[in-house]
Structure 1
């Protein structure tokens, strides 16, 4: 059941990205183009995600345990370090250059293009680099 719920959550996430237009890198790049043809769509999508998460966490934490698991899996590390800041910077640079972040990139695989393929390849290289650096 846990795997089914993971699939349902991923499907809902992918559908949300597609319906909101966030699988189109031009929308993301339009949001980052403040001095040009600025597109505020991403701000509303992110705002909706923040509100949903805020309400969802309040409801979930009233429960003793998750519905389909033994315990809640929450991050324990709360300090900022160079790995976190460096990773966030690389993520932002990659997102700004390509217009894709990992979720929309994977949701867009059906319409693969050269920029998308380049982003996916560099993302995989980044995963391997992160594993090596964390040892």
Structure 2
């Protein structure tokens, strides 16, 4: 029960942070990703501060987790163990970056944005899930 409550609290804080920071607004994200707009003053660097803030919060928590044998709320520790750069990793990063750059959504903010019920968000999430399923059942996974 405690794990569910902690997950709910963390997810709510994460979703609120995405909303407050503007990460669920594809136009704001695309404004950040469009570095060519620096020349005409249209580039929006504010999301770099959001990402830096996320790293500042995550880094000490990751270090704390690495030094534990089991999670605080019980269960199994599931930290990544593979540190190799593989073809699959590069392909996934290219696909992720391409999708983010074309549409302005990455998975977390897209799922959070579903709460607003916009059809373009629903279409993106359905397409994202379909892509995940294709990858899972193909040679790429």
Question: Which residue of 1 is the match for residue 14 of structure 2?
Answer: 13
**SS of 2:5 mapped into structure 1:** helix
1:88 aligns with 2:89: no
- Equivalent in the alignment of 2:56: 51
* Alpha-carbon distance, 1:64 to partner: 4.1
For 2:110 and 2:64, how far apart are their aligned partners in 1? 30
**2:109 is aligned with 1:104:** yes
Distance 1:104 1:79 in 2: 27
Q: Which residue of 1 aligns with 2:125?
A: 120
Partner residue of 2:33?
Answer: 32
Aligned residues: 135
Q: Secondary structure at the match of 1:9?
A: helix
Cα pair 1:22 1:28 within 8 Å, conserved: yes
State the SS of the aligned residue for 2:35: coil
TM-superposition CA deviations, 1:75-105 (whole Å, max 9, x none): 1222121111111111111111110111111
Q: TM-score, normalised by structure 2?
A: 0.86
- Greater mean alpha carbon deviation, residues 53-62 or residues 90-99: 53-62
| Aligned residues: CA RMSD | 1.7
For residues 96 and 83 of structure 1, the distance between their equivalents in structure 2, rounded to whole angstroms, comes to 20
Matches of 2:136 and 2:100 in 1, distance apart? 21
- Find the aligned partners of 2:62 and 2:8 in 1 and give their Cα distance: 20
